[in-house]
Structure 1
Amino acid sequence: MNIRDDIPPSEQRREASTWQGGARAGYPESRVEHAHIDLALNAWLGRLTGYISPAALAAAWQDWAAHLLLSPAKQTELAVQAAADWSEWLRYSAAAMLGNADEPVRPLAQDKRFSDPLWHAWPWNGISQGFLLSQKWWHRATSGVRGVSPHHTDVVTFVARQLLDGMAPSNFIATNPVAQQVTLQRGGENLVRGAVRAVGDLRRALAGTHAPVAFKPGRDVAITPGKVVMSNRLVELIRYEPAAPQVHAVPLLIVPAWIMKYYILDLSSHNSLVRYLVEHGHTVYIISWKNPDADDRDLSLDDYRRLGVMAALDTIEAQTGAPRVNACGYCLGGTLLAIAAAAMARGGDHRLASITLLAAQVDFTEPGELSLFIDDSQVAFLEAVMWQQGYLDTRQMAGAFQLLRSNDLIWSRRLRQYLLDIPDKDNDLASWNADATRMPCRMHSEYLHTLFLKNRLASQRYIVDGHPVALTDIKAPVFAVGAMTDHVAPWRSVYKIIPLTDTEVTFLLTTGGHNAGVVSPPGTPGRSYQVSVHPHEAPYIGPDAWQAINRRQDGSWWPAWESWLARHAGSLVAPPDPVTGPAAPGSYVLQP
C-alpha cells in the first residue's frame, strides 16, 4: 500500500530511494549494505549509553579540554578560586561548629535539596556548603573557556551538573540528616519499602515496561462526550458534543503534538481545556494521533500534514459546511499547523479564520535546553536506533527530558521514594506524562534535520509539494502563547512568530512550564499572564522589552484566549446536528 497515493510512482520511488540510501544511513545507494553494520553497532551502543551519542560527548569534552589546556590564565583563575573556596569552607566550618556562621553559598531558588532545617545544623551545613561550593567551582571551570563552541560549552556544563547531582549528599543516607531522622522514627521500615520499590522500578526498566497509570483515558481523563467522525491510518478526528444552547458558527480544530496523547487538553473535568471551550459555545474538533509501530517507519512529516491537518480540515468542511475554521496547535502540533497554514496561504486556500500556537516554535535557532541532545552526531546516533526498530520509543525520549531536570525528576524522586518512602502522588497530568507516543523513523529524522538542525521553516526553505513555503504568506490573525519557565519551547523562541509573519499577532506570556503553563484553568493558584496585540505594521519590540512594558494580570490565561477566539468564531447559531461514530476517546489513544 502506498503511503502517498497522490504522488506519481516515479517520484515515490525516488523519495524512497533517497530515504533508504541517504537520509536514513548517510551512505550512497550502492553502499547501503555497509551502512547496516554501522547502524546495528550504534543501535546496540545506544542501549548502553541511554541513547546519548558517546561521539558527541567526546567531541564536546575534547573541545573544552584542549582550549582549557591552552588557557593558562583560566587555569590560574580556577586554582586561585579553588584555594579561596577551600579557605572559605574551613572558615565557615569552624564558625558553624560554634553556631554563628552565615552560609557563603545559597542554593538556587529551584533547588530544594537542602531546604529542611536539619541541613542548617552542624555537621550537615558543612557538608551541604562543601557540595555547593564545589558545584559553583565546576560551573566556573566548564564555562567561559575562550575558544570553546557555545554548544560544546553547554554540553560539558550539563554533563558536569549531572555528575554533581548524582553525588549530592542528599542522595545518600550517610550524609542526609532528613533520611536518617525518618529511618530512626520508622525503625528502618522506610528503607525496606524503598528497596522493594527500587527493585520494582529496576525490573520494569529491564523489561522495557512502565508502571500502570492511575488515570485511564475514557474513564478518568479524556471524558468530554464526543464522537470519532473520521479515521485514517494516522489519525482519528474527534468532534465534541455541544454543551451550550448556542454555538459559534466557526468550528475549532485542535492539533496536538504527535509526541503526546491528545488528552493533555482533555484531562479531568476541572482541568480540561476542551470542556472549557465546549461550555463556552465552541464546536471543537481534535486530532488523536496513532501510536506508530515498526510498520509505520516510512511515514513522513508531510504525511502528518496531509493525513492529519489537511484531512481534518476537509472533514470539518464537508461535515459542517463551514467555509472557515479556527485552528489551534500545541507544541509540535503548532509547528505542523504553521507549516500547513503557510502552504495553504501559498496555494490560495483561505479556510483558516485564525491560528493559535500554544508553546510552539517556528524558529529553532534558540530551541532551549533540548539542543543539548541535538547535533549532527546525536541525530546520526538516534537514526541508528530508529533504523533498527522503526520508531523512536517513549523511553528513549523520556530520558532526555528527565536529564534536563535531573535534580527534580531523577534524584529528588529517588530520595523521596527510596529513602523517605514517600510515593509519587497520582494526578491526571502525571498519568498523561507517562502515556507518551512513539515517533516513526522517517518522520522524526526529517523533523530533526529540516527543522531543528537546518531551520528551514524560518528561512523559507521548507518544501511542501515541491515549493518552499514562507510564514510571511500567512494573513490569518495569530494568537501565540509562551510559558515563562518552559524548557522545551522557551518563550523567547515562541515570541519569534512576530517578526516571522506579516499579520496581526497577539502574544501572551503565562506563568508555568511547557505543560502546567498550558493546562491552567481558572482557579489555578499562583497563575498570571501578560498579553498584548502586535499589529503587522507596527515596529518590532524585542521580547525582554515587551515583558517589561506589559502589565501582569492575575489568573488563568484561558478566558483571555477564549474572548479573542470568540471574536473570530462568528455569530451564535443553533448547535450542529448530532453525528454518529465510535464514542470518544476512540481507539488510537488507547494504543500502548
Structure 2
Amino acid sequence: MDNQGDKTGKAPNLDNYVIKDPEAFARNVAHMIEQAGKAASAWVEPREKGLKRDTLADPVTDVVKTLSKVSEYWLAEPARALEAQTRLFTSYMAIWSNSIRRMSGEDVEDVVTPDKGDKRFADEDWGKYAFFDFLKQAYLVTSRWAAELVENTEGLDEHTRHKASFYVKQITTAASPSNFLMTNPELYKETVASNAENLVRGMKMLAEDIAAGGGDLRLRQSDTTKFSLGENVATTPGKVIARSEVAEIIQYEPTTEKVLKRPLLICPPWINKFYILDLNPEKSFIKWAVDRGHTVFVISWVNPDERHAHKDWTAYINEGLRFGLDTIEKATGEKGVNAIGYCVGGTLLSAALALFAREGEDRIKSATLFTTQVDFTHAGDLKVFVDEDQISALEKAMSAEGYLEGTRMATAFNMLRSGDLIWPYVVNNYMRGRDPLPFDLLYWNADATRMSAANHSYYLRNCYLDNNLVRGMMQLAGENLSLADVKIPIYNLAAKEDHIAPALSVFTGCKFFGGDVTYVLAGSGHIAGVVNPPARNKYQYWTGGAPIGNFDDWVAKTREHPGSWWNHWEKWIETQAPERVSARKPGEQNVEILAEAPGTYVRVRV
C-alpha cells in the first residue's frame, strides 16, 4: 500500500498505518492469540462433553444444493459462462484502469458506488486511498454481479430463486472488506493506534459470548447489564392473576377513574417476549392503553422446555387465549372483549377466532392484528427457511429435546437484516473490542425464547409451507377452519418496510375474513412501525378504502397522516363499544395475585 497514491495522485500520508511500538504490538498480538484459544476452548468443551450437537450440516447442504442449481445453468453452455465471466472481468479492468489514471493525477469517476445509506464505507480513506478504493469497488461489482447471476438464471422455480438470492446476499455481506482487519481502513488504523489492544479486548469478548451461548456464539447487540426486567424495562404496574402451563395472564393497574367497559386482551408472539409492547414508559403501548382507559390484560407465554414438547396450537389456544378470556370474565365479570394479536400471536388469534366461530364462542367482539399474516403467499424472506427438506431436518433436531433453541430463531431473524444486525456487531465487538451501547430494543431482541416442537412444527407446516388457514384446510380441535366465519370487526395494521410480515402479505390476507376489515399501513418496519408512540411524532401512516383489489392501486389512493397510528386505532376501538365503567383493579372479585408484573415466565432466559 505504501506505493499507492490517493485519489489526487499525491503520495499518501501513511502515519496512521505505521506501527509505532512494535514491542507493545507484538505483546498484544500474543495476548490476542491467548484469548482466541479461550474462545476455541469455549466452543470445543461442550461438544467434547456431549452437551452440544452441531446441526450446521443441514443448512450448509441446502446452501450448496441451491447455489449448485444456479451454477449448473451458467456452466451448462460455455458461451453463457464466458459472457458472465467477461462482464465481471471487464468491470475489474475498468476499476484497475481508473486506479492507474488516478495515480497519474486524472480526475476519474468511480465504476460503482455504494448504495445510499450504506454505512460500511463511510470512512474517508475508502475513497481517499487507491488500495482501499479498489477493494471497495471490486467488492461492490462482484456482489452485484453475483446477485444478477441469480436474477438472470432461467428455469428456477420461485422458491429456489428466492433461496439463492437470499444465500448470495448472506455470502456477499459476510465477504465485505469492511468485515476484515487488513482490508478495512478504520479497523487497521484503530489496531495500529492501540497497538492491537482492541484485538485483545475483542477476543476476550468473543470467548465470553461463546461461553454465554453454551458453545454457540451469542452475539452481543446491546449492553445487557444496563437493563433489568421490572426495574427499567417492562415497568408498567400490574399483577399476574392466573397461570397455566403455557401462559401467565397479567392484569395492569388502572390509572384512570373510568375505563372502557370492554376489557382489552393482548396476545403477543411466543417467538419473542411480550415486553416489546412495554419497553419503557415512553415507548410502552401497554401503558399508553392503560392511560387511555383500557383494562389491559396480556398473555405472557412460557419459555418452553422438554415438558412442553407436545403443546401445539390447540393447547396454546385453550391454555392461552381461552384461558385469558376465562380469567378476564372472572376478574371483571365481562364476557365481551377486544383482542389484539401481534405477529404470529395475531395468526394464532385469527385461527382461534375461526375455531370459536365454529364452537359458538363469541366473547371476542373485535380484533386488532399488528403486522400479522394469515395468507403466507407473499411471506417474505422467512420462506427461505421453509420447505419439506428443511422442516423435516428441523423436526428431527427438535425431537431430541422437544423444543427449538431460541438462538436458532433469533439467528434466523437477524439474518434477514445481517448487514444491520450481525456484521456491524461482529466488527464492533470482536475487532474494535468495544462494548455495544445499551439499547432496550436490542436487549429485548436478544432475550430469545424457545419453541415447543409441536407448536413450531404445526406453525411452519400449516402456515409457511401449506398456507392452510386461508385454504380452509387448517384443522384444530377436530374442526376445519375458515376465516370467512370470522364476522367481527378487524383492524389490520401493516408496516411499509416490514421484512417479516410484508405489507402486501398482510393486505392479501384481509379478503379472507368474513366481516369488515380496516387496513392501515404504518411507516417503518415490523417493530418501529408498531411501537411508535404519538408523543415521538415519528413516521406516518396511511388510510384508504376497503382492502380489496390490487395492493399498489390501494396504496396510490391512500391518505397519508403524519405521526403515529395509535390515536387512529383508539378512535376505531372506541366506536366498537364506547361505554365506560369504574376502573377495575387486579385482585378484585376474589382473584388471587400470583406475582407482580412482568411475572415469572418472562424472566426465564435461554
Instruction: Settle same-fold status: TM greater than 0.5.
Output: yes
Partner of 1:260: 272
| Residue range with higher mean Cα deviation, 455-464 or 314-323 | 314-323
Give CA-to-partner distance per residue, 1:409-432, whole Å, 9 cap, x none.
222212122333432111221111
Structure 2 SS opposite 1:443: helix
Q: Could you say if the C-alpha distance between residues 370 and 360 of structure 1 is closer, same or farther in structure 2, counting changes exceeding 3 Å? A: same
Query: Are 2:536 and 1:528 equivalent residues in the alignment?
Result: no
Partner of 2:127: 120
Partner of 2:570: 562
Partner of 2:482: 470
Give CA-to-partner distance per residue, 1:14-70, whole Å, 9 cap, x none.
xxxxxxxxxxxxxxxxxxxxxxxxxxxxxx9x9435475344334323432333333
Partner of 1:129: 137
- In 1, Cα distance between the equivalents of 2:282 and 2:106? 49
- In 1, Cα distance between the equivalents of 2:585 and 2:536? 35
Partner of 1:56: 62
On the 8 A contact 1:251/1:569 being kept in 2, the answer is no
The letter for the 2-side match of 1:82 is L
- In 2, Cα distance between the equivalents of 1:455 and 1:81? 41
Q: Could you say if the C-alpha distance between residues 125 and 62 of structure 1 is closer, same or farther in structure 2, counting changes exceeding 3 Å? A: closer
- In 1, Cα distance between the equivalents of 2:125 and 2:216? 38
What RMSD in Å do the two structures reach over aligned CA positions?
A: 2.2
- In 1, Cα distance between the equivalents of 2:554 and 2:101? 47
Query: Are 2:188 and 1:190 equivalent residues in the alignment?
Result: no
Query: Are 2:81 and 1:75 equivalent residues in the alignment?
Result: yes
On the 8 A contact 1:342/1:470 being kept in 2, the answer is yes
Query: Are 2:462 and 1:454 equivalent residues in the alignment?
Result: no
Query: What displacement does 1:402 show?
Result: 2.2
Q: Could you say if the C-alpha distance between residues 276 and 316 of structure 1 is closer, same or farther in structure 2, counting changes exceeding 3 Å? A: same
On the 8 A contact 2:254/2:585 being kept in 1, the answer is no
The letter for the 2-side match of 1:495 is F
Structure 2 SS opposite 1:426: coil
Query: What displacement does 1:363 show?
Result: 0.9
Partner of 2:212: 204
Query: Are 2:292 and 1:280 equivalent residues in the alignment?
Result: yes
Query: What displacement does 1:220 show?
Result: 1.6
Partner of 2:3: none
Structure 2 SS opposite 1:495: helix
Query: What displacement does 1:333 show?
Result: 0.3
Relative to the length of structure 2, the TM-score reads 0.85
Partner of 1:485: 497
The letter for the 2-side match of 1:116 is D
Match of 1:342 among 326, 347, 354: 354
Q: Could you say if the C-alpha distance between residues 63 and 188 of structure 1 is closer, same or farther in structure 2, counting changes exceeding 3 Å? A: closer
Query: What displacement does 1:320 show?
Result: 1.6
On the 8 A contact 1:222/1:263 being kept in 2, the answer is yes
Query: What displacement does 1:371 show?
Result: 0.9
The letter for the 2-side match of 1:481 is L
Give CA-to-partner distance per residue, 1:426-472, whole Å, 9 cap, x none.
12211111112111111111111112111110101111232211111
Partner of 2:94: 88
Q: Could you say if the C-alpha distance between residues 52 and 557 of structure 1 is closer, same or farther in structure 2, counting changes exceeding 3 Å? A: farther
Q: How many residues align?
A: 545
Give CA-to-partner distance per residue, 1:259-280, whole Å, 9 cap, x none.
1111111111111100000000
On the 8 A contact 1:242/1:283 being kept in 2, the answer is yes
Give CA-to-partner distance per residue, 1:247-299, whole Å, 9 cap, x none.
11111100001111111111111111000000001111000111111111111
Query: Are 2:584 and 1:576 equivalent residues in the alignment?
Result: yes
Give CA-to-partner distance per residue, 1:200-222, whole Å, 9 cap, x none.
22333444585755322212212
On the 8 A contact 2:201/2:433 being kept in 1, the answer is yes
Partner of 1:589: 602
- In 2, Cα distance between the equivalents of 1:204 and 1:358? 33
On the 8 A contact 2:342/2:370 being kept in 1, the answer is yes
Q: Could you say if the C-alpha distance between residues 66 and 187 of structure 1 is closer, same or farther in structure 2, counting changes exceeding 3 Å? A: closer
Structure 1 SS opposite 2:424: helix
Query: What displacement does 1:99 show?
Result: 6.0
Partner of 1:151: 159
- In 1, Cα distance between the equivalents of 2:574 and 2:125? 53
Query: What displacement does 1:559 show?
Result: 1.6
Q: Could you say if the C-alpha distance between residues 52 and 569 of structure 1 is closer, same or farther in structure 2, counting changes exceeding 3 Å? A: farther
**Structure 2, unaligned stretches of length 5 or more?**
1-49
Partner of 2:9: none
On the 8 A contact 2:240/2:599 being kept in 1, the answer is yes
| Residue range with higher mean Cα deviation, 560-569 or 457-466 | 560-569
- In 2, Cα distance between the equivalents of 1:185 and 1:65? 44
Partner of 2:250: 238
On the 8 A contact 1:50/1:399 being kept in 2, the answer is no
Partner of 1:430: 442
**Structure 1, unaligned stretches of length 5 or more?**
1-43
Between the two proteins, what is the percent identity of the paired residues? 36
Partner of 1:324: 336
Q: Could you say if the C-alpha distance between residues 429 and 150 of structure 1 is closer, same or farther in structure 2, counting changes exceeding 3 Å? A: same
Query: What displacement does 1:356 show?
Result: 0.5
- In 1, Cα distance between the equivalents of 2:419 and 2:217? 23
On the 8 A contact 1:357/1:478 being kept in 2, the answer is yes
Give CA-to-partner distance per residue, 1:546-569, whole Å, 9 cap, x none.
222213222122222122122224
Q: Could you say if the C-alpha distance between residues 506 and 51 of structure 1 is closer, same or farther in structure 2, counting changes exceeding 3 Å? A: farther
On the 8 A contact 1:96/1:122 being kept in 2, the answer is no
On the 8 A contact 1:483/1:511 being kept in 2, the answer is yes
Match of 2:113 among 106, 125, 128: 106
| Residue range with higher mean Cα deviation, 272-281 or 144-153 | 144-153
